Structure formats: structure tokens, C-alpha cells
Structure 1
């Protein structure tokens, strides 16, 4: 498997949006109804949706975020998949939306032994750490 990051909003098209979200200074991850593993909020960008529209929809559905801000972090590729990653600071949470996620939980660090997509998660967290160091 091949994963790589790029400057934000440089790819020609996007298949998915992933959001690294924080709530009360901790990572907020979601767990799929059919999995024991945790993951960032993310999913396909629907036809006619901009990347930011998709990120907002996905974040609200999969985390229950009510009040938040979003900022592009990076573009990425994983094999033939092209995506964009956003960072979100969540200020208020409501109920999870009608989606495939069963729960959400805050973490101080990635739960590496219970992560749904460890390769892409590690890559995106490296991009976030680099961003945080520069700002």
C-alpha cells in the first residue's frame, strides 16, 4: 500500500474527505457499528458536493459535532484513492447522526492497537504534527 500527502487542495479530484477532530483538547474518534476499531471521521464526497461541504456533513453525522471550525490540512493518496484531510476543533457535541457509527470517544493519542486504518491515520497525524509545529 502506498500513502502520500500533498499541499491542501492540489489534487485534481477527490474521492473522500477525512477529518482529524479534537474536542476539549483531545482527539475525537468514532467507531463503526460493525467494527471494534476506532477511526477518524471520514467518507466519500458525494456528487455535487464540495470538499468542505462533505467534511461538514461527515463530521456532523459521525461525531455529532454541532459547533466547530474546519481547516484544510493536506491532500493525500492511498493506492488509487485521492482524498483531502481537514482538521476540526469541535466546541459542542450533540447526538450522533443516522450513520454507520455507533459511538465516539476522546483520546489523548491514537489507540494504535485498535485503529481501523493505521497506515493512513499515522500519515495524517504526522501531517498534523508538522502543521502544529509551524503554527
Structure 2
């Protein structure tokens, strides 16, 4: 079973954050990416490198996974994914960002095969038990601003 928890910014030490995920919009549409090893869509993001602050992780991952060359990044919240499978409990923490992308360049040749713009969350998701909650949280965030 998976459980998604949201935490306010600065309530969890940054060194506990393992990854950054970025809900990004370009020309009014959401950017989703397709990994070379998968046939489903996911939100751009990835793991934090050693000694990298989480804002730099978000910026690097957004470029590497979308080719975004001009963008702003706004931290939304911290989130955790709790899993309890076969009695083995794990919790991983990450930062959720919102980005308005102003320019997309050539997609770097890393792990992403394709990017696509969507009006809403796509149906074929890599992490269908997680990504809809992140999408909804960012929608709530941008509607408050």
C-alpha cells in the first residue's frame, strides 16, 4: 500500500530529501516525459546528486528531462511516499516544484526519450498511485497564487 503525505516547506531537513519533481507548464500545457525504458508518462524529476541542494536538483532535472533552457522554479511543498509491502515499511522524501517554462531547447540525450504537452494529466502514467496527487497539489498551489 502507498500513502502520499504533504509537508510544508522548511519543516523537514533538506538533507533528508532524496529527489525533486517538477510540474512544469509550457505555453499553457503540462509537460510530461517518457523514459527510454518505459511506455508511460511521468512528471519530470529525479534523484539528488551528492552535495547538491534540492533547488539545483530541480533545475538540473528539468533541463535534463525536458530540454528547458529558460524557466522559473517555485517550491510548492515537501512530500513523502510511504510504502508497506510484505511488512517492509519505507518512506522516501522529495521536493515538489512548479515551473513556468519559457523556452525549450533540444532534449538532452539522457534517459528521456520523448516529451509531450498535455492539457490535463495523461491516462498512461508511470506512477499512477503518486502522480495524480502531485498534479492536484500543484493545481491547488497555482490557483491560490
Q: Pick the TM interval, shorter chain.
A: over 0.9
SS at match of 2:130: helix
Stretch moving more, 39-48 or 7-16: 7-16
Structure 1 residue 73, shift from structure 2 partner:
0.8
Q: Does structure 1 residue 15 correspond to structure 2 residue 25? A: no
SS at match of 1:118: coil
1:53 maps to what in 2? Answer: 56
User: Unaligned 5+ residue runs, structure 1?
Assistant: none
RMSD between aligned residues: 1.0
Residues 33-81 of structure 1 deviation map (CA, whole Å, 9 limit, x = unaligned):
0111000111101111000000010000000000000000110000211
1:99 maps to what in 2? Answer: 110
Structure 1 residue 97, shift from structure 2 partner:
1.5
Higher strand share: 2
1:24 maps to what in 2? Answer: 27
Instruction: Give 4+ residue runs of structure 1 displaced > 3 Å after superposition.
Output: none
2:85 maps to what in 1? Answer: none
Structure 1 residue 133, shift from structure 2 partner:
2.5
Q: Does structure 1 residue 70 correspond to structure 2 residue 73? A: yes
Residues 22-43 of structure 1 deviation map (CA, whole Å, 9 limit, x = unaligned):
0000001110001110001111
Structure 1 residue 87, shift from structure 2 partner:
0.5
SS at match of 1:74: strand
1:89 maps to what in 2? Answer: 100
Q: Is the 8 A contact 1:4 1:123 kept in 2?
A: no
Q: Is the 8 A contact 1:5 1:123 kept in 2?
A: no
State the TM-score, normalizing by the size of structure 1.
0.95
Structure 1 residue 124, shift from structure 2 partner:
1.0
Structure 1 residue 132, shift from structure 2 partner:
2.2
Instruction: Select the residue among 120, 128, 134 that pairs with 2:138.
Output: 128
Count matched residues: 134
Q: Is the 8 A contact 1:9 1:84 kept in 2?
A: no
